[in-house]
Amino acid sequence: MSQRPGKSGRIAGENILHVEQLRVEVRTDRGPGPVLVDNVSFDLRRGEVLGLIGESGAGKSTIGLTTLGYTRGGCYITGGKLDFEGRDIRQMSGAERRALRGPGVAYIAQSAAASFNPSHTLMQQVCEIPVKHGIMSMDDARKEAVKLFRELELPNPDTFGNRYPHQVSGGQLQRAMAAMAMAARPDILVFDEPTTALDVTTQVEVLASFRKLIREHGTAAIYITHDLAVVAQIADHIMVLRHGKMVEYGTSDQILQEPRQEYTQRLVADRAAGHTFRDDVASGALPILAVQNVTASYRSLAKVIDGVSVEVRKGDTVAVVGESGSGKSTLARVIIGLLPREAGDIQFQGQSLPPALANRSKDQLRRIQMIYQMPDVALNPNQTLLEIIGRPVQFYFGRSNAEVRRRVLELLHMMDLPEAFITRRPGELSGGQKQRVGIARALAAEPDLIICDEVTSALDQLVGEEILKLLKKLQDDLGLAYLFITHDLGTVKRIANKVAVMLKGKLVAGGETSKVFAPPYHPYTELLLSSVPEMRSDWLDQVLTGRAKTIAAVRAAQVQLPG
Amino acid sequence: MRLFGHRVTILAMLGMLVIIINLVAAIGAPWIAPFDQAEIVGDAWGDPDTDHVYIPLMGLDNLGRDLFSRLIYGARMSIGLSFIITCISFAIGIITGFTAAVLKGWVDTALSRLVDLLLSMPTLIFAFIILSVLGTELPVLITTIAILDSTKVFRLSRALAMNLAALEYVEVARVRGEGLWWVIRKEILPNAMAPLIAEFGLRFSFAFLFIAALSFLGLGVQPPNADWGSMVRDYRDMINLDSTAPLYPAGAIALLTIGVNFVVDWMLAIHSRSHGDG
């Protein structure tokens, strides 16, 4: 069973995967559906990393999965060749494909949490593939796993495997998944957006471990991501995909520095745009919103936000940044009253807001609106846009049906959405269009302040860019104030004139963006800023060298924090 | 054939045919049935050769009443009762279940424990006790079964609403300041329809069988009113005497249950298709 051709004689640079004119289509009961991958060809050599990059729907994950001889339900490989070590994966029997997966090609998914069985230890799951395939005995597999844990810089590698998936952090779990994929010594590793769900500071570490793993074992890899700067750190070649077709293929440096196709140029330009500050200072004398020393927690657990103060004036865009668990989304919930504060005060237009939603007046509710991260779940799938956008108009202003309709059309027009959309439901819109509907609904209430909770993070890069431009335009036209909750520091630099940096429920730095994001930094701000991937291939090496010192400084600063 | 813009499957058509026939029978019973349900038309135990007994379509029952007429009147009673009971139990179950899920806290705890209390007793025995004490008039029968049945609807709707209430569009409505009734009716109910429709079909069949069981035990529909369950009870011994009489009401119960389920399946298939992946 362990006999796999070519395994014994691994020669670096030898061609291992040959993909030629690959075509993947959806087939439904009612005939052929859309083409997901169209005429894609590439070669992968041992020790080489190929980056697949594109927006959602570009077909990058579909290509990644075909190398395992797998397609999602309803999708079929309808054309082309997929040669793995000279054998066509399309011609393989079911048993041959099973033998391929694991020892031949291994897959690392975006969500490690969903890919581990919560009722087995990590060790059991890492050892399963090599033992099942008869490559190693259980004892050898265990030793091998500990070795991999050590290579991936996981804490306490000897005992790490005894833990269950919920007992380790997200970044550790992602690395454990790499160990699981590597356990059977595959020829090709397929990484499918493995760092997308991680915080920036964790992403740096995980990315560094992945790169080390690939380099030390000389494994070929396909690295799928939507972030050009991430792929630049790890890939030798990059293929840019769009709508299932190849846009451009080249070495990483060539794609980053001299992209030839217009689409790639736009991607590169947009990604690199995050370096200019917005430094206008809002004019409003009185703050619209003043959060003063607010503390809140869920039930009786530890404080989720602790003594936080933030001020928003008319025309301001205040960004609240921090990693997951920093309490930034909780702050939004406290401001809108979903989670009543325990201490401190929130002043809105000079008046203290009641802590709980139920005690606030209709007018107080109207003046603060929110836009959500996931437009899919923020819009009721059973309502038309007329109902979704029209309801606040009717609810707050008590207008007649004809007036509501006129106002909805006006808002659709402001969002650059066609008027005919008024009868559509969210399911018939794209992600970017849905987010525009979310903005229109917020505007329908004619608020003073809009809280934007990670509004672009579920969208593709270029679509998110459009949304940010729209928000900026609306601010200029209507004098809105935004409280912008995000983990994307590139966005912050461009759109926010003020910023509040949160760490574990506390505010560590705050003020004008141009001052907070310039030396002398708070050590945590410096760590965050340095962790944002940059568009050059030597970025990761540079970051790793200075990193230990910054982390030590953060630890030291944290001790000094009150409480 | 298409209905409301959707293609109708063969099974759904069969189911609809069964339901339509039953509905026509139920509504038009006094005009369709050749005799009244209580009218004795002949001597069931007489000798056909000597007594010149009139033998209608399905024969006579044990008291000499026309079986076919009773079956038609039985449809009226059984279907009408189950439908009313299921509607009431859904109204109670959905409103309480959604309220518990949206308000949470002590409201949820109180309602849930009350339902636990009702569920902890075997339904049939519970109904038995209430009907013995309060009598077997139709309003009592309807209320009792509807309340007992609503506990199951409560469980389902609470679970459905719990998931939906956590979604952001429900949060948006609450933050907007909408009242409980709006949240339940506009934000949660439309998105919980698919499983609720399936449950309605099932519950209808169960209510139907439950009445049949109660009638069979003598606590349901009282004579001389005909309903399919009590007909099975009344005629069950006749099967020993080489009579097919109990098979007709039993078959009618089975046929309608299956018919309803065919249609429910079809409606569910439509519902899951039109949504897409959003």
Q: Under 8 Å CB-to-CB from B76, ≥6 apart: which residues?
A: B25, B26, B27, B29
| Model pLDDT for residues B62-76, shown as the tens digit of each residue | 677 777 888 888 888
pLDDT computed for residue A195 by the predictor: 85
Contact B174 A370 (CB under 8 A): no
pLDDT computed for residue A142 by the predictor: 92
Picking from A16, A108, A105, A43, the residue whose alpha carbon sits closest to that of residue A68 is: A105
CA–CA separation, A167 and A496 (whole Å): 37
pLDDT in tens, chain A (563 residues): 344 444 445 566 788 899 999 999 888 766 777 888 988 999 999 889 999 998 887 888 899 999 988 888 788 888 888 898 888 888 888 888 888 888 899 999 888 888 899 899 999 999 998 998 888 899 999 999 999 998 888 888 899 999 998 888 888 888 899 899 988 889 999 999 888 878 888 888 888 888 888 888 888 999 999 888 888 888 999 999 998 899 999 998 888 888 888 888 888 887 666 555 565 655 566 788 999 999 988 876 778 888 899 999 888 899 999 888 788 888 999 999 988 999 899 999 888 999 988 899 999 999 999 999 888 889 999 899 999 999 999 999 998 999 999 999 999 999 999 999 999 998 888 888 999 999 999 999 999 999 999 888 888 888 888 899 899 889 988 888 999 998 888 788 888 888 999 988 888 888 888 888 888 888 888 888 888 888 777 888 888 887 877 787 777 766 444 33
Contact A427 B191 (CB under 8 A): no
Compare CB distances from B190 to A336, A366, A382 and report the shortest one's residue: A382
Asked whether the predicted pLDDT for residue B272 surpasses 70, the reply is no
Chain A residue with the nearest C-alpha to that of B167: A377
Chain B residue with the nearest C-alpha to that of A429: B278
Which chain A residues touch B278 with a CB distance below 8 Å? 376, 381, 426-427
The alpha carbon of B18 is separated from its chain's Cα centroid by a whole number of angstroms, namely 15
Instruction: Determine contact: B190 vs chain A, CB below 8 A.
Output: yes
What is the predicted ipTM? 0.77
Compare CB distances from A365 to B168, B176, B277 and report the shortest one's residue: B176
Q: Is the dihedral of CA A444, A448, A453, A458 positive or negative?
A: positive
Contact B172 A337 (CB under 8 A): no
pLDDT computed for residue A6 by the predictor: 41
Which chain A residues touch B168 with a CB distance below 8 Å? 372, 374, 377-378
Measured CB to CB, residues of chain A less than 8 Å from chain B are: 336-338, 357, 360, 362, 365-366, 370, 372, 374, 376-383, 391-392, 395-396, 426-427, 441, 445
Nearest CA to CA, how far is A311 from chain B (Å)?
Answer: 22
Nearest CA to CA, how far is B238 from chain A (Å)?
Answer: 52
Which chain A residues touch B105 with a CB distance below 8 Å? none
pLDDT computed for residue B232 by the predictor: 81
Q: Under 8 Å CB-to-CB from A75, ≥6 apart: which residues?
A: A24, A25, A26, A27, A36, A62
Instruction: Determine contact: B104 vs chain A, CB below 8 A.
Output: no
Nearest CA to CA, how far is B33 from chain A (Å)?
Answer: 45
Band (pLDDT 50/70/90 cuts) for residue B274 is: very low
Q: Which long-range contacts (CB under 8 A, 24 or more apart) does A252-260 make?
A: A252/A51, A252/A537, A253/A537, A255/A228, A256/A228, A256/A232, A256/A535, A256/A536, A256/A537
pLDDT computed for residue A386 by the predictor: 93
Band (pLDDT 50/70/90 cuts) for residue B275 is: very low
Contact A381 B176 (CB under 8 A): no
Picking from A93, A79, A75, the residue whose alpha carbon sits closest to that of residue A25 is: A75
Q: Under 8 Å CB-to-CB from A242, ≥6 apart: which residues?
A: A54, A55, A58, A263
pTM of the shown model: 0.80
Instruction: Determine contact: B105 vs chain A, CB below 8 A.
Output: no
Give all strands of the β-sheet with A343-348 in edge-to-edge order: A305-313, A287-296, A343-348, A351-352
Contact A338 B175 (CB under 8 A): yes
CA–CA separation, A95 and A71 (whole Å): 16
pLDDT computed for residue A4 by the predictor: 42
Which chain B residues touch A391 with a CB distance below 8 Å? 176
- Mutation target vs B (from A380, A386, A394; most B CBs, 10 A cutoff): A380
Instruction: Determine contact: B169 vs chain A, CB below 8 A.
Output: yes
* Of B205 and A235, more confident: A235
- Mutation target vs A (from B174, B175, B178, B273; most A CBs, 10 A cutoff): B175
The alpha carbon of A178 is separated from its chain's Cα centroid by a whole number of angstroms, namely 19
Contact A381 B275 (CB under 8 A): yes
Compare CB distances from A392 to B174, B176, B186 and report the shortest one's residue: B176
